[in-house]
Amino acid sequence: MISLAWNCQGLGAPGKIQFLQDVTRYEQPKCMFLCETITSRRKMEELCVKLKFEGLLTVEPQGRSGGIALLWKDAEDVNLMSMSKNHIDVSIKVEGKDPWRLTGIYGEPIRAQRHKTWDLLRHLARDANLPWYLIGDFNNVTSQQDKRGGHSYPNWLVEGFNDYLRDAELQDLEITGHQFT
């Protein structure tokens, strides 16, 4: 399955909508998770139609920050399990295939509060009775090599995130396409 996750930092600029149209036409993702949409549900519904996606779940921004959305194509049965300002968690059943779980994550942007994301993920992992695919912007890295430019990432954040991944028995999949935005 081809999926796309993008921290779009607001969808108000026309160039960003054009980028999404181009990338969905070229990559043809079956699902897309967008973070920091800073966009109303009505505008997300319009975008869903424009991009030819069949389904949409969205959490509206709080003021001038946040907002997340999960869009999908060709899923015959998508069931919402839970959602918050930082996640959308669904189970997906496609005819002829085993059901699985998709969770879009927007990690806590404030470094001192990143533990809230790890706590959320630990809570969600308790219900992990289906194959589980996490996608999004965790606002964390697993190594210094995952970051480009600026100051080094604090080691306590790298170690804390890696501890969570080990505890939850999750595997970091390789990214293909644009690695950094």
pLDDT at 147 over 80: no
Summary mean pLDDT of the chain? 88
Residue with the two structure tokens 């796309």? 4
List pLDDT tens digits, range 2-24: 888 999 999 988 799 999 999 99
Instruction: Express each pLDDT in 81-101 by its tens digit.
Output: 999 999 999 999 888 889 999
Angle at which helices 41-50 and 14-27 pack, to 10 degrees? 40
Q: What is the rounded distance in angstroms from the CA atom of residue 73 to the CA atom of residue 75?
A: 6
The pTM of this model reads 0.90
Q: Which CATH architecture has domain 3-139?
A: 4-Layer Sandwich (3.60)
Q: CA nearest 100: which of 123, 72, 120? A: 72
Q: pLDDT band at 181, cuts 50/70/90?
A: very low
Instruction: Report the distance separating Cα 133 and Cα 118, nearest Å.
Output: 16
68-72 and 55-59 beta bridge pairing: antiparallel
Q: What is the mean pLDDT of residues 35-60?
A: 95
Q: How far, in Å, CA of 11 to CA of 42, rounded? A: 13
- Which residue has better confidence, 171 or 103? 103
Sequence spans of domains, the chain: 3-139
pLDDT at residue 26 is higher than 50: yes
The pLDDT of residue 137 is above 80? yes
